[in-house]
Amino acid sequence: MCDSCSSFLDRLFARGVLHATGVDGLYARGECFEKVISGLDRVISRHGAAHRAEIIRFPPGMSRALFEQSGYMNSFPQLAGSIHGFVGDERDHLALLDKIHNGETWTDRQVATDVVLTPAACYPLYPIVSKRGPVRADGLYFDVQSYCFRHEPSKDPARMQMFRMREYVCVGTPDQVMAFREQWLEKGRDFARELALPHEVNVANDPFFGRGGRVMASSQRELGLKFELLVPIESGDEPTACVSFNYHQDHFASMWGIELASGEAAHTACVGFGMERLALALFKHDGLDLDAWPSPVRAALAL
């Protein structure tokens, strides 16, 4: 197949940048893909260094109890994923094997474990912060990362079901948090320029579920609570959100009881880097051969 007539995803598979697993949006990563991810991590760390943020790395699952408390199911039930496990006796086990053998549904007897898949890297952070007492006067800064799950199978390589999200999160007064987001809107543009990626920054909204969700989405846009750094990845499609800049006001802090010394609820904001999307944007613009990438880009990523 010629390069221009196969899809970007097919070309990524053909070069071993990604490997198919049989499920749309679930891919194994090849060596050169991971080199780019490591490079991106270094560039992001450089841009975020001034925060002296506390580093926390999460496993891809979080506590189901805390997830229920987070309200994620109110807003995004269509994207959530939970982990279920087998708890039966030997007879149940035989029945289960029979069902698998006969190609029948075997998962109806699985029960929810205490773990759900993490939907965004900052979700497991707030319960940790809430246990620490009042937020100190100069604010709190975190550098978090997690594999995240979203049930949105797609042939678009930039829409994965499991992907890494690196985030900087600020917890503090409204002024501190707004200043943090303004700085990141600027740094986000610098970051894209350093990597020579064509980009624009636009106001955005989250994919809230249902009719009520449309109201939430338009109010989020009106209040300018979410911005995205967009880069064209799939030709013909809208540009893809590669970095998100979110101001949550006191939403998460009120929910988790995170307070300032004054007793008022803190405010929070996060900047979320979609690691796979950024890597794919680079492969799209600079080609599938890392050795042929422009030297300033290779230098920025220390490839």
Note the residues at the interface with ligand ATP (CB under 6 A): 120, 122, 150, 152, 159-160, 163, 165, 228, 241-244, 246, 270, 272, 274, 276-277
Between 96 and 122, CB nearer to ligand ATP: 122
Residue number with CB closer to ligand ATP (106 or 250): 250
∠ CA 16-17-23 to the nearest 5 degrees?
A: 85
CB of 142 within 8 A of CB of 54?
yes
Residue 170 or 195: which CB sits closer to Zn ion? 170
31, 34, 161, 211, 297 from 289: Cα distances, Å: 12, 14, 25, 45, 13
Q: Does 177 bind Zn ion (CB under 5 A)?
A: no
In the bound complex, what is the minimum distance in angstroms from residue 81's beta carbon to ligand ATP?
12
CB of 175 to ligand ATP, least distance (A): 20
For residue 60, give the nearest of 129, 142, 123 by alpha carbon: 123
274 is in the binding site of which of Zn ion, ligand ATP, none (Cβ under 5 to 8 A by kind)? ligand ATP
Closest residue to ligand ATP, based on beta-carbon distance: 274
Among residues 32 and 275, whose Cβ is nearest to Zn ion? 275
| Minimum distance from residue 190 beta carbon to Zn ion (Å) | 21
159 vs 199 by CB, closer to ligand ATP = 159
* Strand stretches in 107-233, DSSP E: 111-117, 140-149, 162-172, 200-203, 226-231
Candidates 82, 80, 125, 61; CA nearest to 256 is: 125
Q: Does 270 bind Zn ion (CB under 5 A)?
A: yes
Q: How far is the CB of 110 from ligand ATP (least distance, A)?
A: 25
Task: Say which residues have a Cβ less than 8 Å from residue 282's Cβ, sequence separation at least 6.
Answer: 36, 195, 197, 293, 297
How many of the other CB atoms lie within 10 Å of CB of 252?
A: 27
